[in-house]
A and B are shown apart, each in its own frame.
Chain A
Amino acid sequence: MTVNFRTLHRYLLSCIVIFFLMSAGFSMAGTAPNAKLDEVSRLLMSKTFDDKSRALDVLVEQSQPRTAELLHLLLDSRLYYHKKEKQLYIIADYDTGKIAIDLAGAEQLIKKKRDYKKIILNNNLRGQINRILAELGLNSNDPQQRENAVRDLLKDITPDTVLALKARFTIEESKKVREMIRIALAINDMKSSDEVLISNAIEQLNGSLEQESRGALVTFIDATETLDTPEASALNKQAQIALKGIEDKVQYYGWLETLYFGLSLGSVLVLAGIGLAITFGVMGVINMAHGELIMIGAYTTYVIQLLMPNHIEWSILVAIPAAFLVSGLVGIAIERGVIRFLYGRPLETLLATFGISLILQQAVRSIFSPLNRSVETPEWMSGLIQINPVFSLTLSRLYIIVFCLMVFVALLLVLKKTALGLQVRAVSQNRAMARAMGVRSNRVDALTFGLGSGVAGIAGVALSQLTNVGPNMGQAYIIDSFMVVVFGGVGNLWGTLVAGLTLGVANKVLEPWAGAVLAKVLMLIFIILFIQKRPRGLFPQRGRAAEG
């Protein structure tokens, strides 16, 4: 018992001593570096970027507890200085914010906004900050962050980073991070003159897709090309084999990437064209205002985002039915107002709808201004899935591919499984017979046109995430839409899907060697030739419907 007491006593004593030491340390940390912090802020407020770069160096040398915080503030452009007071302030939101906080934590009311100037960075400074953050991140608790940190450090390996990496390697537990560090060290070893080291390094780099690994191998091969000692040429050969292996892999992923790009371009084409496949394909109306219906869908998205500024994340989901309704109603108005008087006169329909398209464009210009509107991309749609350093899938495109397939399936179900679908098919096959059977063909015409227009509106929602939302956006898609529908075979949804995806992939395969302009020309020529051979497209309608 007494022994226990004694140990407790000792324990308490040591605790007190530690506490004292710590508080002394704290107060030291509290005063001395503050002078340095002033130096840092003075340099940061300077006009030249050299001074700012020096400020970063000072920050690193001092290894302040707040270094990371300050760097993040700089990167997010939340660090300001007062023009006259010459003091740094943190302003969370400059546009609407009312309060500036100085580095000691004291709050201040913003009286005149223009007095607070942002600390401006340039790209080199941003690079420098990212490197410092990477070095700090090397000891983060999150393995993913550590991996990214090593990847950042790969770009420029200095003796300092090698030391830091080696130190980390001895305590690193994550397999992926260890692998990453091995590659980094191997890249560094490629610069040495020890043959065994180099040979091992090449072995390590074999199969690594990091661009720096390739860079290191290429530099090594170039450097040893002219040496003709047997050891050097053996190493050169080994490096060349490793490089060949990597390049084969890169090429393979290149093809995958092209395929992905093609599919995503294809699904944009399908989305734009599938509404037209209904109005043109099923009803036989040449609707030149189809692009403008897409535009109306995109503007609906914009308006929805204006209406719910605090729920941008969900605005897209609300916009889909809204755009369907708005574009669909406009479509029905066009059909009831103009097109129904012109059935059977395709040339006049063409001219009338072209006129409508101009009216809609100018109407949008008058209502929303001729400038493009900015539609925000929700957080969950931006970013990419990095599969490996040379192959990644952009999330927004992935969503659009999925969305396109969903729209396609939904339309197919509507046409095949609902009463409306049955009537639409009946009217399009034989109008007189359908009417005789009691189908109100006028109503069906209006609803079909509304359906096609509504789908165009949905396409507009998707396109607002990829391209401009402006008065001219419809024109960019009208030709593509007709191309897809004609190529796929008039009156066939499957044809539209296959045609859109084929054209997308073919375009992307052609583009790298023909250029964007020529690729498009080649596609058009191909379609013209194809139509000569098969005038009814990929999937022609057969039987009695074809004659109608």
Chain B
Amino acid sequence: MKTFKKTLLSAACVLTLSAAAQAALAEETIKVGILHSLSGTMAISETTLKDTMLMLIEEQNAKGGLLGKKLEAVVVDPASNWPLFAEKARELVSKDKVDAVFGCWTSVSRKSVLPVFEETNSLLFYPVQYEGEESSKNVFYTGAAPNQQAIPAVDYLMAQGVERWVLAGTDYVYPRTTNKILEAYLKLKGVAAEDIMINYTPFGHSDWQSIVSDIKKFGSTGKKAAVVSTINGDANVPFYKELGSQGVAASDIPVVAFSVGEEELSGIDTGPLVGHLAAWNYFMSVDSEANDEFIDAWHKYTKNEDRVTNDPMEAHYLGFNMWVKAVTKAGTTDPAAVQEAIIGVAVPNLTGGYATMMPNHHITKPVLIGEIQDDGQFAVVWNTAGTVAGDAWSDFLEGSKDLISDWRAPLSCGNYNVKTAKCSGQNF
């Protein structure tokens, strides 16, 4: 009996001890959720971002972690399935108890997880350029808003003497909203309606013969024409191939793209595309110390000298550094405290200058225009003098030009109408 009691006691002891040890182990890490598709259509773009996050977390741990604790990455795969994004987000926040989530690529996946983050009051860092018209208390938009990408690109082309505009896009929310903003902007600048041609194509469109031929005709009236392309992902390769085979040279009709970066170009033979343009806030070819270091680290992490870096990767780099700085400043990972601390936090860009988190949860970015080179890289041909602050609500759309967003204490509103002085409370 005695021995039995003893065993029982010691067993209890061991149990409590191990539980305590487990608790201590759990205490030691700060969990970071990574919500990027690793399978399905979007895996093509999002896998890279998962690797970027893992690399950043590893680097931070090598520097000694955060608040004296190690960071731990929790990776889930929402499989390019929009409803699954919401489920996986809930799993990360409620079950894994992560302190911040970095993820999403498409706007529809962001819209799908938005209610989850608002309900659980946790944080999402969204790294991709998007159509704007949104500002959530729980989301930090580290990619470009339209005024940080589309509008400067159009300004650049106008300065180059372009008078006719083809707005070509894939048929979904980002191109439709961006083109609406651009159309309003062009008309404001005095471009006549017949000098704007708008064209939408389905996802993964592969037969571009007649559209490219139409563009060719549109551009042969004597006035200089350009294509502003919001064509997404896979459809770009056959589009550019068709441009090449129909002999549309960049010096005749340049194409400026908002969704084509180094990664997309790595799947194309860029010889015939030399001179076509892209507008981003980062290019791998930018010559700066920070960028060289980042590229070297990336090559070392992936053990592949040929891997390219791109704009959304920089956005994650900035978002992660901002979060680290804000957590250090707040002294805790509590989302409410971090939300307050992160506004005004500035971290260096990879291309020089600083990115600052604005009160509307968007950041300041330089805008760069690059021309495609025959080695699959972009050469910067133009850039803004300083940085541009992201504008959540476009100044060129009817319903949204009177709206501002400010998440600081007295206003604390993502959708404040300056005319009616009311906060609608709706964030999108």
What is A's interface to B at a CB cutoff of 8 Å?
49, 77, 94-95, 117-118, 120-124, 126-127, 130, 211-212, 215, 218-219, 257-258, 261, 264-265, 268, 362, 365, 369-374, 376-377, 382-384, 392, 394-397, 466-473, 475-476, 507-508, 511-512, 515-517, 520
Contacts and interface: CB of A to CB of B under 8 A. Distances in A.
B7 interface: no
B210 A94 contact: no
Interface residues of B, number: 53
B288 interface: no
Contact of A467 (B210, B221, B241, B274): B241
A472 B39 CA distance: 10
A268 B206 CA distance: 11
B309 to A, nearest CB: 14
Given A120-B381, A265-B207, A370-B43, A392 B246 contact: yes
Contacts of A117: 287
A30 B200 CA distance: 58
Nearest to A510: B210
The secondary-structure label for the interface of chain A is helix
A29 to B, nearest CB: 32
Nearest to A469: B267
Given A265-B209, A396-B245, A126 B250 contact: yes
B234 interface: yes
A468 B209 contact: no
B220 to A, nearest CB: 4
List of 7 A-B pairs having minimum Cβ-Cβ separation, nearest first: A372-B267, A215-B222, A370-B43, A261-B209, A211-B220, A120-B379, A467-B238
A376 B234 CA distance: 17
Interface in B27-70: 38-39, 41, 43-44, 47
B171 interface: yes
Contacts of B375: 94-95
Contacts of A377: 241, 269
B209 A264 contact: yes
B44 A470 contact: yes
B202 A394 contact: no
A382 to B, nearest CB: 6
Contacts of B94: none
A516 B205 contact: yes
Contacts of A383: 245
Contacts of B39: 362, 365, 370
Interface string B221-259: 110000000000010011001101111001100100000
Contacts of B246: 384, 392, 394
A468 B235 CA distance: 8
A211 B237 CA distance: 28
18 contacts: A77-B374, A121-B275, A122-B371, A123-B371, A124-B160, A215-B222, A261-B209, A268-B207, A365-B43, A383-B245, A392-B247, A468-B234, A470-B267, A472-B204, A473-B234, A475-B204, A476-B234, A512-B210
B251 A219 contact: no
B384 interface: no
B234 A472 contact: yes
Interface in B252-277: 254, 263-264, 266-269, 272, 274-275
A394 B222 contact: no
A377 B240 CA distance: 13
B211 to A, nearest CB: 7
B140 to A, nearest CB: 26
Contacts of A130: 251
Interface string B368-397: 000101110001110000000000000000
Contact of A374 (B160, B209, B244, B267): B267
A467 B251 contact: no
A467 B239 CA distance: 8
Contact of A466 (B38, B204, B238, B266): B238
B199 interface: yes
A344 B272 CA distance: 51
B238 A515 contact: no
A215 B209 CA distance: 24
